[in-house]
Homo-oligomer: A and B are copies of this chain.
């Protein structure tokens, strides 16, 4: 929430927050103990309560921190720029690509996002709503610009594209296993973007060959 670069960041407080973020993303907040976070952050369990009041307080702060990070991704994707980008023929500009670009290798935030959606966290619902509205607007602009075909069910189409994009983040590890590249690392982004771009531009099915 605080916009100013908090001076008491990079402190034990921040170390606790970061450790909690990573552990929560990996295994879920319920499965992580305060003592475990403390060990990981190199502090005593009591200090966590001293700084955050309770485990739930820490949880709330980590949630807010993650939400802020996601909003940063969100705001780094201005719609106008995207229209130009897409209209230029490239298939990029997806949320997943923004993730790959915005979050360094090994960041716990993609996994955290998955948990946000799976646990039906209200913060996750709000995030989804905002991203959906953005996708919807984007397609309106693209149709207007002649870059996308019109459709009679734009609500579903926007949702279709959005969740396809999110699937890349949610199923990241499974995808990496079967295709041999992490789809949030440059190599995987490239392969995925090319294939998705082809399907989105011209489809994948065709009338079967006559005989």
Secondary structure at chain A's binding surface: helix, strand, loop or mixed? Answer: helix
Are A174 and B117 neighbours in the complex by a CB distance under 8 Å? yes
Q: Is A128 interfacial (CB-CB < 8 Å)?
A: yes
On chain B, the residues within 8 Å of A87 by CB distance are 208
Question: Which one of A49-57, A58-66, A157-165 is at the B interface?
Answer: A157-165
Bound Cα distance from A140 to B33, whole angstroms: 48
Contact residues, A57-115 vs B (CB, 8 A): 86-87, 89, 114-115
Bound Cα distance from A17 to B118, whole angstroms: 22
Q: How near does chain B come to A154, taking the closest CB pair, in angstroms? A: 9
On chain B, the residues within 8 Å of A120 by CB distance are 173
* Chain A: number of interface residues, binned into ranges: 35 or more
Q: Is A129 interfacial (CB-CB < 8 Å)?
A: yes
* Known interface pairs A128-B174, A147-B206; 9 further A-B residue pairs with C-beta atoms within 8 A, sorted by A's residue number: A117-B170, A120-B173, A125-B177, A148-B205, A153-B195, A155-B180, A156-B192, A160-B195, A200-B205
Binding site for B on A (CB under 8 A): 28, 30-31, 86-87, 89, 114-115, 117-120, 124-125, 128-129, 132, 142, 145-149, 151, 153, 155-161, 163-164, 166-168, 170-171, 173-175, 177-180, 191-192, 194-196, 198-209
